[in-house]
Every structure is written in structure tokens, then in C-alpha cells.
Chains A and B, each alone.
Chain A
Amino acid sequence: MEINLAQLQIGQKGIIQDFDIDLVPLKLLEMGCLPGNEVQLLQVAPFGDPLYLNVNDSHLAIRLETALAIMVEIPNEEKL
């Protein structure tokens, strides 16, 4: 099942799929947000934005608009 990052439940993990590199800053890639890596949604700020992630052991926050551009695949055992 492929969804965007913002659709993850809090605490849920997914594997990052290919994304449109025009919508995602290089800095995010450099912090480990790369296709194939695991990402976990840790927390969401009030009003649903920004999002707090653990990706590739990096803890970082990004805005909703960036999260919408990143698609993730949920491994079977993580499905709710």
C-alpha cells in the first residue's frame, strides 16, 4: 500500500519510495531522507503541520507540503 508521508499514523513506519526531486530540498536528502530508507512519523504539531520524523536515525521536522510529496510503502507487518 503506497500513501504519502502525512497519511502515516503517529508511531507508524514506512519505506520511502521514489519522489519528485523538484519538490524535496537536497538538504532533506542529505539528512537521510532517501528512497529505500525507513521513516517513522513521531509526532504532528497542532493543526497538522509541521511533522516530526525519524528517518534513517535522523530526527527532523518538515512541513506538510514537503511531506505530501514523499510517498511511502507500508511493510505488511506495519499495516493497521
Chain B
Amino acid sequence: MKVGNINIALIGNPNVGKTSVFNQLTGLNQQVGNYPGITVEKKTGVCKLASNLKATILDLPGTYSLNASSLDENVVIELLLNKNDKDYPDVAIVVTDVENLKRNLLLFTQIKDLEIPTILVINMADRMSYKGISLDIPYLEKMLKTKIALVSSRKGEGIEELKNLIVNFRSLPTEPCLNASEIDVEYFNNLRKAFPTQSLYKLWLVITQDVNFVNLDRKELPSSFTRSKDQLKRLQHKETIKRYQFINDVLKVGQTIDINSAKDIRSKFDRILMHKVWGYVIFFFILMLIFQAIFDWASVPMDFIDNAFVSLASLVEGILPAGVLTNLIVQGIIPGIGGIVIFIPQIAFLSLFISLLEESGYMSRVVFLMDKSMRKFGLSGKSVVPLMSGTACAIPAIMATRNIENWKERLITILVTPFTTCSARLPVYAIIIALIIPNQRIFWVFNLQGFALMAMYLIGFLMALISALILHKTLKIDSKSYFVVEMPNYKMPMFKNVAINVVEKTKSFVFGAGKIIMALSVILWFLASYGPGEKFEKAEEILASQLPKDEHFDAKVASYKLENSYIGRIGKSIEPVISPLGYDWKIGIAIVSSFAAREVFVGTLATIYSIEDSENQDATIKNKLSEEINPLTGEKLFNPATGISLLLFYAFAMQCISTLAITKKETNSWKWPVVQLVFMSGFAYVVAFIAYQLLK
């Protein structure tokens, strides 16, 4: 039997539980990708409706209306206007929140004007009696010309009824529920005459929206239909009022709210969480809790992963026959995978907290509290989320800037976010701090090393704010400050939504950044295992004539080989540039290779030293580094001056290709990633230079 497939688009305002409905319909049967050419996340899932029918469900980005004001919203319009798109829906499902029905129906009336079969989902129906709301469903279905499913996505109620409505989608009415063209009768009559075959509302959207249309070119429109921006805005204004009049009239009859039986927890929570003192105290404690989780709790699984990969490498080395392939696996691939997997606990903890804060509705309160103070630095209250996410990884953080309406504020947020201490810096910091700061407690509670780590985080945040201020004063961008934040109801976060979110975020990190790290590990192994000319190939013979054959001979050959390998040559050639910062050629190699991703620094040193000393594979890298001697001075290489210089270098330098790529995508220009690279890395070099010269 052939299984039929229909396309469904899930549409709705933000904060209506659209994703919960999506999760209920598809379960774990989901895929996350990107729309071609842009970084907007594209979520699709499959839902089995009957034995011979399944639905491909597309979860479109949340939007308040079809008047797009952001990249995410453009996606919705571009899809709904293009009948030839392979994702063009057979059925549109508009998800609304029973407590915000009035506002949510605005989008619904616009979708109806597109003449797509549409189902109205009224979500959070379990809260109706709690809020004193009752609905006349047959009346609403008649007036809105649709079928309604009352759903409670938290409890999984009404999902079967919704599936039944989808199965019978061919009987859904497709005519609009109001005539919005009444706002300018003459204009729309002429438009209809000029394009008798097109939907009137589609034409209107083509005229007013600044998006790409595949099958209808703006240039085909006669100039008599173009209007000035002001006139268009006035018409859109009228259109919005017209739609609200209709909605108000319908709800006056179809919805009754008994205010006396409504309970209000919102104002009680708001009074505490948005209090001018307690609000900030609570936010500070939540931040502390998040940092505690990332540094302290995550270290347990991270140590375990670290040890597991060391044991795996020696186990594999014991089993496989000695040879080039074994070396590649043991010294290149296994440490490479280990270098990615070790970040999973931190990324998972951070996305867990952020998704809890967003699901509960608390994040909007933080935006409200922080907006005024962030604006002093040219940022927005909405920059708080990217800056917090930046402590895990700058890539999702920069993508989270999309809901900042003001272009200047958004650009500054994008440019300064990489200064916050991402988890890729953490292993670099951890190992250098362990080498130069004694593991002691002061005042019984504070560990000196932990203190140093905290200082590095503060330096990162401080630098982000200072450079934001500099950009705020120097960038001459005039953009209107549109700031509208919805304050959603407080909700108990749903386990399923949070869990799926954490898994998705972690997956996209492992397979996104992970690919680069993995590839580099293998390239590095190759560059370190091969070298040009006789000095590399005949290392043993050359040394045999100079040195006695004692127990140190093999190690000296390995070291000599590394020095003359390809990577040794690269490191040596940049030594003059980096020696004023206190680094030798081995650190130079690590810096060059970690240009693509910071965490590669530790992996490279591990590779370099495990190759140099392959008899002692499992001695930890920390011990190896602390024994290292600077050949120029004869002292320990990792002295405080070099260590602090390295810490500062990594705090400021733009050592992440993925971040540059995402900045290019999000700003749609090469200018801003170049600015980021030159400013950050230049600054890092100067600061590291000053620090080393003062301290040495």
C-alpha cells in the first residue's frame, strides 16, 4: 500500500506553545537543518496520521504577523507566497494561546487571506477554567471559517482530535474570514483588475514586504500601484485596525471571561522577579548557579571523558599492530574525538539553563531589568541572552541576536560577543592556570586557581562591554530604536521541550564545530609526523654520529624529528614574531593550529608531546608542560610571565573560524568579520606583549 504524504506548516506567535504542539505531533521524529543560504533554523518532523497517510510537519519561526521585520519572519512569508516551494503547505495550522486569543488571531486572519486550508489550534486549553474563560466553539468556527482544535500540549490532550482534522483537510474552508481590502476600495479594485488570477492579499504582501518572491517579480507591478513608504505604513496601520475590529466583534460573542474566577499569579511573580532590588539579586544568583554548573558540576563528567580517551588510546595501541595507521588512530583521531566530546557536559548544562529560563518566561523579565543599563554601552536588554550563551559558544550566541530589532544594537552585540569566555577557552585557561598558579586556598574557602579562572571570565565580560562602548561611540549608524518585548505568562518548563532543546544544541555543536576540530587534529598529526628533506628522514643517522647511544637516545631522535617536521618548520618560522610574547616555537605551532578553534591549543600540545615522548603516553599533559625548559633562558618555559601573556592572548584573540563565518552570514558582509579579526587579534598581541615585557 502506498503511503500518502501531506505537508503541514505550523504557524503562530512566539510563546504560544507552538514547539510543544510540534513535539507532541512528531515525538522524537525530528530533523533540524537550515534554510538554504541563511542561518535560520529549519525544524521538520514526521507524524503518522493513518496507516496510509503521513504528514511532514514544518515548524516555522514564531511571528506576530505577516509583516516581516526580521530574517526569521521573512522565512514564513517567503514559504507561504511560493506555491512551487517543495515545503508549500497543504494545510496551515495556526497555534494560539487561549489567554492571548485576541492578539494571536491577528496572524490567523492574515493566513486565512492566503486561501490555504487552515486549522486553528487553541492551545493551553487546560488553563481555561483557571482563567475563567469559556468559548463558543461552533460560533467561532463559523465566523472564522475554520475548524478549531482545543489542545493542551502540556498534557497531550486534544492531539488526536487535531490529527483527525488534519486527515480530513480537504473539507476545510479556504475563503478569507474578513475583507481587508475595504481599507482602500479603489486601490484594491484596480489591483484585482490588473491581476485577476492572483490572490489579492498575496499581491498586497508583495507590495509591502521586502522579501524575495520566486514567481512574482516586484518589477511586474505597474508603477500606479507603488506607494511611498509612508503611505504604505498608513495603509498597514489601517489594515491592522480593520483586522482587530473584526476580531473584537467575533470574540465579543464567542468568548466570555469571568474576571472574578480568574487567578493571577503573574503579578505576584512580577512583583518579586522584577523588583528594583530583589530582581537583580535573583538574577545574580541564577548567573552564579549557571557558572557553578559549568565549572564545578561539569568537571566530573569531563574528567571521566578525559581519562576514558587516554585509556582508549593506550588500549588501541596495545591491540593494533605498530605502524602508520595505528599512529594515525592513536595520536591523531582518538585525541581529536576526545577534544570534541569533552565539551559536551558544559554545552549541555548551559543550554539546559538557558532553555529553562526561556521556557519559564523569566528571560523576558531579565531583558526588562537590564535594558536601560545595557543601552549605556550601545547594547540592548536583549543582548543579555547572547552574552550569557557566549559563555558556552559564540556561534549559537550570535544567532540568538536575531530578535534585536535595532540594527546598531544587534551589530555591536554580534561584534563583542566573542570576547565572552566560551567553553573552548576553558581547557586553555585550565591548563595554563594549573601550571602557573599554586593550588592553594586563601581565607579557607577560595581556591587560588578558581579565583584566577573567575578573573579571566570577568576580563572577558569587561572587554566585551568596553569594546561595545567604543563601537557605540564610533559607529555612525542611524537606526530607529524599536524595542517591543512580550512578557509571556510564567509557565512550568516542560521536560520534553527542554530535553529536545539540549540534545539539539549539543548535537549542532558536536557536528558543527566538531568537524573542524577533527579535521585539524588529523592534519596536525600528519604535519608533525612527516617532514621535508634529509634532516627529518635521516634523523637517527645524523644523531648517531653526534650522541652516545644511551637510554635518552630515542627521545632525542623523536624531538629532533619533530623540530624538523613540517609543523616544526612552521613554528620556527614564526618564532621571531612570538618570542617577544614569551613563546617558543612549540607554543607557536599550537597558536597557529588553534587559529581555527581555540581548544585545539591543548590538543596540539598533547599531540606534540605525545609524539615527542611516545614511551610515556599516559603521563598527563600538565606534567609534561611543567617539565619543559626554555632553551634560550634555561628556565622553566611556563613561568608566570609566559603564562599570563598566554592567558591574555587567548582571552582577546579571535581564534575561531566558525565565529568569523557566522558573523559573515549574520551581517551579510565581509567587513564585520574582518573588523572582528583585526581588532581582537591585534589587541590580543599588544596586551600579551606588554604583559610579558613587564613581568619577565
**Cα distance A72–B301 when bound, in Å?**
57
Stretch binding the partner chain, chosen from B98-106, B186-194, B447-455: B98-106
Whether A26 lies near B237 (C-beta < 8 A) is yes
Give every chain A residue within 8 A of B276 (Cβ-Cβ). 45-46
Whether A26 lies near B233 (C-beta < 8 A) is yes
A22 in contact (CB, < 8 A):
yes
**Cα distance A46–B376 when bound, in Å?**
14
Give every chain B residue within 8 A of A34 (Cβ-Cβ). 240-241, 244
B183 in contact (CB, < 8 A):
no
Do A29 and B240 form a contact, CB below 8 Å, given A21-B234, A45-B372?
yes
Do A63 and B106 form a contact, CB below 8 Å, given A34-B244, A50-B483, A58-B100?
no
Whether A56 lies near B237 (C-beta < 8 A) is no
What's the interface size class on A, roughly? 20 to 34
Give every chain A residue within 8 A of B230 (Cβ-Cβ). 22
Nearest CB to that of B361 among chain A residues?
A: A59
CB distance from A80 to the nearest CB of B (A): 20
Give every chain A residue within 8 A of B367 (Cβ-Cβ). 61
A4 in contact (CB, < 8 A):
no
Q: Which of B103, B270, B488 contacts A56 (CB 8 A)?
A: B103
Q: Which of A32, A45, A52, A63 contacts B103 (CB 8 A)?
A: A32
Name the residue among A22, A30, A66 with the largest chain B CB count within 10 angstroms: A30
Whether A25 lies near B482 (C-beta < 8 A) is yes
Give every chain B residue within 8 A of A52 (Cβ-Cβ). 270, 274, 368, 487
B451-493 residues with Cβ-Cβ distance < 8 A to A are: 480-489
B369 in contact (CB, < 8 A):
yes
Give every chain B residue within 8 A of A62 (Cβ-Cβ). 483-485
**Cα distance A28–B483 when bound, in Å?**
9
Nearest CB to that of A63 among chain B residues?
A: B483
Whether B368 lies near A27 (C-beta < 8 A) is no
CB distance from A45 to the nearest CB of B (A): 6
Give every chain A residue within 8 A of B65 (Cβ-Cβ). 27, 30
B672 in contact (CB, < 8 A):
no
Residue tally, chain B, CB below 8 Å to A: 41
Q: Which of A25, A45, A58, A66 contacts B368 (CB 8 A)?
A: A45
B371 in contact (CB, < 8 A):
yes
B331-371 residues with Cβ-Cβ distance < 8 A to A are: 364, 367-369, 371
A68 in contact (CB, < 8 A):
no
Give every chain B residue within 8 A of A30 (Cβ-Cβ). 64-65, 67, 103, 106, 240
Q: Which of B233, B364, B485, B487 contacts A21 (CB 8 A)?
A: B233
B219-250 residues with Cβ-Cβ distance < 8 A to A are: 230, 233-234, 236-237, 240-241, 244
**Cα distance A49–B67 when bound, in Å?**
27
- Complex interface bits, B578-618 against A, C-beta within 8 A gives 1, otherwise 0: 00000000000000000000000000000000000000000
Whether B482 lies near A27 (C-beta < 8 A) is yes
**Cα distance A56–B99 when bound, in Å?**
12
Give every chain B residue within 8 A of A25 (Cβ-Cβ). 69, 405, 480, 482, 484
Whether B266 lies near A29 (C-beta < 8 A) is no
Nearest CB to that of B234 among chain A residues?
A: A21
Nearest CB to that of A21 among chain B residues?
A: B237
- Complex interface bits, B362-391 against A, C-beta within 8 A gives 1, otherwise 0: 001001110111000000010000000000
Whether A32 lies near B244 (C-beta < 8 A) is yes
CB distance from A20 to the nearest CB of B (A): 11
Whether A32 lies near B64 (C-beta < 8 A) is no
Do A31 and B484 form a contact, CB below 8 Å, given A26-B67, A45-B368, A57-B103?
yes
Do A27 and B69 form a contact, CB below 8 Å, given A32-B102, A61-B487?
yes
A42 in contact (CB, < 8 A):
yes
Whether B244 lies near A27 (C-beta < 8 A) is no
CB distance from B159 to the nearest CB of A (A): 26
B241-274 residues with Cβ-Cβ distance < 8 A to A are: 241, 244, 266-267, 270, 274
Nearest CB to that of B99 among chain A residues?
A: A57
Whether A50 lies near B486 (C-beta < 8 A) is no
**Cα distance A25–B69 when bound, in Å?**
10
Whether B237 lies near A29 (C-beta < 8 A) is yes
- Complex interface bits, A11-52 against B, C-beta within 8 A gives 1, otherwise 0: 000000000011001111111101100000011011101101
Give every chain B residue within 8 A of A59 (Cβ-Cβ). 266, 486-489
Whether A26 lies near B240 (C-beta < 8 A) is yes
Do A43 and B236 form a contact, CB below 8 Å, given A31-B486, A65-B481?
no
Residues in chain A within 8 A of chain B (CB atoms):
21-22, 25-32, 34-35, 42-43, 45-47, 49-50, 52, 56-63, 65-66
* Apart from the given pairs A22-B230, A34-B240, A46-B372, 18 other A-B contacts in the complex at a CB distance below 8 Å: A21-B234, A25-B405, A26-B236, A27-B64, A27-B65, A30-B64, A31-B486, A32-B103, A32-B244, A43-B274, A45-B372, A49-B371, A50-B485, A52-B270, A59-B487, A59-B489, A61-B364, A61-B371
User: 7 smallest A-B Cβ distances: which pairs?
Assistant: A25-B482, A59-B487, A61-B485, A30-B65, A46-B276, A63-B483, A47-B372
A sample of 8 inter-chain contacts (CB < 8 A) reads A26-B67, A26-B237, A30-B240, A45-B369, A45-B371, A49-B371, A58-B102, A61-B368
Residues in chain B within 8 A of chain A (CB atoms):
64-65, 67, 69, 99-100, 102-103, 106, 230, 233-234, 236-237, 240-241, 244, 266-267, 270, 274, 276, 364, 367-369, 371-373, 381, 405, 480-489
